[in-house]
Amino acid sequence: MAGSGKRTGAARAAAAALLAAAIAWPGGAQAQGQGQKRYREPDFITIGGGAFDLLDNTTSAEMDLQVRPNTRLWIFRPQIGLFANSDGGYYAWAGLMTDVYFGRRLVLSPSFGIGGYHKGDSKDLGGPLEFRSALELAWRFGDSSRLGVQFGHISNASIYDENPGTEFLLLNYSMPTGVFDR
C-alpha cells in the first residue's frame, strides 16, 4: 500500500526518539518530596475507550483493557492488554512501557508491544502478528490514579505482503490496585 512504508518509518523514528528521551530524562524515576527517596508507582488496571482506525474512513469504536504491574525491568514496566472494536476485531498483546514525569502530576508514557490480531469485520492489517507502539499523556491524581489520552499505531512491520497499519486514540483511566502485590 502506498505510503505505509513512510508511516512505518516515521513511527519507528518517533518510538526511538521517545525511548531516548525516557532514558535521558533526569526525572525518569521521580523523587518524592525533598529527599532522595524514589517514588514507586502502584500496579494499575487501565480501562479505555476511543477510536480504532482513526486516520481512515473505516473508524470504529474501541474498548481497551490493560494491566500495568509495578515490576521493573531496568526503566521499563511490563504491560499486557486486550482491545475489541465495534467491527468485531480484537487484539491481545504484551509489551513494555516507561514513565517520564513532568513534575508530580503530568506523566508521558511511551510503550511498545507485540500481539495477535483477529480482524472480524474490521480492517485487515495484513496478518495476525502485529506490533503496537503508543504514547500516553496522563494527569496523575493524588491517589496515583491517572486520566490520560493515548495515541498509538499498530502494524506488522512489513513481515507480510500487505502492511496498511492503523492508528488508535483512547481516553484511559488507570486505577491503582493491590491485586498483583507479592
Taking the CB of residue 27, how many other CB atoms lie within 10 A of it?
Answer: 12
Measured between alpha carbons, how far apart are the two ends of the chain, in Å? 47
- What is the mean pLDDT of the segment spanning 37-58? 86
Give the pLDDT score at 40: 73
pLDDT value of residue 9: 52
CA 106 vs CA 56, 80, 171: distances in Å:
30, 23, 15
pTM of the predicted structure, to 2 decimals:
0.79
How many angstroms separate the CA atoms of 43 and 180, rounded?
A: 7
The domain limits of the chain are 4-177
Percent share of the chain, pLDDT over 90? 70
Residue 27 scores a pLDDT above 50:
no
Q: Which of 101-105, 112-116, 166-170 has the lowest mean pLDDT?
A: 101-105
Q: Which residue has the higher pLDDT, 62 or 56?
A: 62
pLDDT surpasses 60 at 17 = no
Query: Was domain 4-177 assigned CATH 2.40.160.20?
Result: yes
